Amino acid sequence: MRLVILDSYCDASTWAAKYVRNRILSFNPGPEKYFTLGLPTGSTPLGMYKKLIEFYKGGDLSFKYVKTFNMDEYVGLPRDHAESYHTYMWDNFFKHIDIIPENVNLLDGNADDLVAECDSFEDRIAAAGGIELFIGGIGPDGHIAFNEPGSSLVSKTRVKTLAQDTIEANARFFNGDISKVPTMALTVGVKTVMDAREVMIIITGAHKAFALYKAIEEGVSHMWTVSAFQQHPKTIFIADEDATLELRVKTVKYFKGLMHVHNKLVEPLESTQEKKKQKMN
Amino acid sequence: MPSNESVSQSRILQFHNCYLLFGHNLIKEDLWVREGKILNPRKLFWDEKGYADVKINCNGMILSPGLIDVQINGGLGYDFSSEHEKLEKGLSEIAKYLLTHGITSFCPTVISSEKLFYPKILPKIKKTKGGKEGAGILGIHAEGPFINVQKRGAHLADHIISAGFPGGFQDALDVYTKDGFENIVICTLAPELENASTVVKEMTQRNIRVSVGHSMANLSQAEEAVKHGATFITHLFNAMLPFHHRDPGIVGLLTSDQIPKGQQIYYGIIADGIHTNPAALRIAHRAHPKGLVLISDAIAAMGLPVGQHHLSDQLIEVCSVDDNPDVPYKATIAGTQTLCGSVGVLDACVRHFKEASGCSKVKL
Ligand SMILES: [Zn+2]
């Protein structure tokens, strides 16, 4: 397990985006070999998406041969509703880049048969050869996707009833009207994410500090579902200073001491542009 | 590799890095277009699984609908009202030229002409859809000959029919001819002429927009025309009685309380920086912003370079402003200071109007 600590949210977002860029570039995806990417929603990854869009616009990165799988979606919320995850992904990422719509996988919360939709999502992941890099954010209670405290750590994609806390917290997105907040969601399971070849969790802000502590300094617990990734062979946590407030000084010092190693991971690779130039020469 | 042709035979364009007017705001948003129609990009993406074939970088500019010029007399040396032999060539060259200035459709304007001339010109100016080969022709703006000789402006007195319509609508039909009528969409007439109200009504029923102008009408005569269906005022302030507080004349229509419910009065205004004083532009705009329609009223010299040109037996001089020696600004009869019409293209009028009126980009 790696923990990368950056000074600010902005730095953490940039670092995460560079890491994703490098992973895609070094994978060298093509028509016969797609890079499969798991994607989160929420406020945390916004900065990373912005950076990735910049890389695309600067010609350094293409998503033409990337397949994406999103973590979750509300049940019964119209697809184009301002709070749907379809809207989030469209507005904050997909419409800005060169991804091919066919390669985008997002759970349909309006499917007639929700169970079949979830099963087919797992099938689609399998058909794509599994997920190369799953990016996640977490809630203050340490939940990943809609795998709220108490969720099974071996769960797969399924229909979940949301915790009352989550429904109440979400009311602010629905003009404070709790009756309008969706009460169910489709979500990937903890196991779905565990099965990815690599997991990257972005945790920023003081309000997530306790969750980060639970995620890495305490044992694996289904009450803090994100802690499951301690047992993943390749997990990288990306945090800002604020999120480390509940960690031991020793832990922070140890991981900060490794930053010179970690920073090598985000050094510029041969960008798409440079490759193009080489081809032309 | 999924092919985009699976979702559409025709190319999908995505304009990006641009500003769009949406919900009374300018927002930075992309615009997707297929076969000339605006697409809902989300439906395209999620349902059709389609995406843009061509991405066009707008470099941070405003992407707006095309401009419409409802009063333009000619350009590039062509005059719609005189040279019927070269008319078609002139129309297509001007249509192309206008497109390069963001004008996507226009109403070629035919001013008062000899009676024998109408059957030669009007049928030749056909409505066209427009496309990349040039701006579309919405139909003719027939300005005169049923106007007031005392407010004739550049129209020749000999061509004007001051008697009005003693024979009613038939008189109009006699001049414009049946074939010609089919191409007319706007008709400027003076409402004080005999039987004008009947003719206004008949024309309105035939879907022709009647515009009042080149007229000595007082306010109540103008209101009478509006009650019979007139909806437009031709180049406000120009060729009409000046505003007077006891009888504001046609200008008074802007704030009239006699406009029938559900009807709106619009007015053309030349904002080339010369023909209407900026203060007058502001008065009109503040009194009735919703009715304002910018027009060029451009003459044959529009689009010609700065310098002297021979146009219909006259030597005219296209002048520039001092700080911009290459940009045509006004046209005078050579050797004099007499203005002979506008040479401002409509896009320049929009820019000038914004500056002169102090209105925002969003709201005129
Ligand atoms: Zn006129």
Model confidence pLDDT, tens digit, residues A142-165: 888 989 888 899 999 999 998 888
Superfamily grouping for domain B67-301: Metal-dependent hydrolases (3.20.20.140)
Q: Among A213-217, A222-226, B5-9, whose mean pLDDT is lowest?
A: B5-9
pLDDT score of A193: 95
B3 touches chain A (CB under 8 A): no
pLDDT digits (tens, 9 = 90+) for A59-79: 999 999 999 999 999 999 999
Domain region containing A196: 2-280
Q: How many angstroms away from the CA of A31 is the closest CA of chain B?
A: 6
Q: What is the CATH number of the domain that holds A8?
A: 3.40.50.1360
Closest Cβ–Cβ partner in B2, B46, B50 for A79:
B46
Average the pLDDT over B121-137 and give the result: 94
- How big is chain A, counted in residues? 281
Nearest to B2 among A79, A87, A102 (CB): A102
pLDDT of B153: 87
The DSSP code sequence of B93-117 is: HHHHHHHTTTEEEEEEEEES--GGG
pLDDT at A272: 58
Q: Is the pLDDT of residue B3 over 50?
A: no
pLDDT digits (tens, 9 = 90+) for B151-208: 998 899 999 999 999 999 999 999 999 999 999 999 999 999 999 999 999 999 999 9
| Interatomic CA distance for residues A213 and A138, integer angstroms | 12
Domain parsing of chain B, residue ranges: 12-57, 67-301
pTM of whole model > 0.95?
no
- What pLDDT score was predicted for residue B334? 83
Determine the residue of chain B that is closest to A101 in CA distance: B49
In tens, the pLDDT along B27-80 reads 999 999 998 899 999 999 999 999 888 989 999 999 999 999 999 999 999 999
Residues of A in contact with B48 (CB under 8 A): 101
Distant-in-sequence, close-in-space partners of B190: CB < 8 Å, separation ≥ 6? B146, B147, B148, B151, B164, B196, B212, B213, B214, B215, B216, B217
CA atoms within 13 A on the CB side of B317: 11
Closest CA to B160 of B151, B148, B171: B148
pLDDT for A274 beyond 70: no
Higher pLDDT, B293 or B11: B293
> Measured between alpha carbons, how far is A26 from A260 in angstroms, rounded to an integer?
20
Is the predicted pLDDT of residue A97 greater than 80, yes or no? yes
pLDDT higher than 60, residue B292: yes
Element (H, E) at A274: helix A272-280
Chain B residue at shortest CA distance from A88: B42
Task: Report whether pLDDT(B2) > 50.
Answer: no
Among the listed ranges A20-24, A267-271, B230-234, which one has the minimum average pLDDT value? A267-271
Q: Name the average pLDDT for chain B.
A: 91
Q: Which of residues 227-266 of B touch A (CB under 8 A)?
A: none
Compute, in angstroms, the gap from residue B317 CA to the centroid of ligand 1. 20
Rounded to a whole number of angstroms, the distance from the CA of A202 to the nearest CA of chain B is 27
Q: What is the secondary structure of B143-179 as a DSSP string?
A: E-SSS-GGG-TTS-GGG--TT--TTTHHHHHHHH-HH
Provide the domain count of chain A: 1
Average pLDDT over residues A89-99: 94
Chain B (295-324) residues lying within 8 Å, Cβ to Cβ, of chain A: none
Query: Are the CB atoms for B319 and B336 separated by under 8 Å?
Result: no
A94 and B30 within 8 Å at the Cβ level: the answer is no
A100, A103, A104, A108: best to mutate for the B interface, most B CBs within 10 A: A100
Ligand 1 centroid–CA B214 distance in Å is: 6
What is the DSSP track for B312-364? TTEEEEEEEETTEEEEEEEEEETTS--B--B---HHHHHHHHHHHH---SS--
Q: Is A90 on the interface with B (CB under 8 A)?
A: yes
Residue B234 CA, ligand 1 centroid: distance in Å: 7
Read off the pLDDT of each residue in B314-326 and give the average, rounded to a whole number.
80
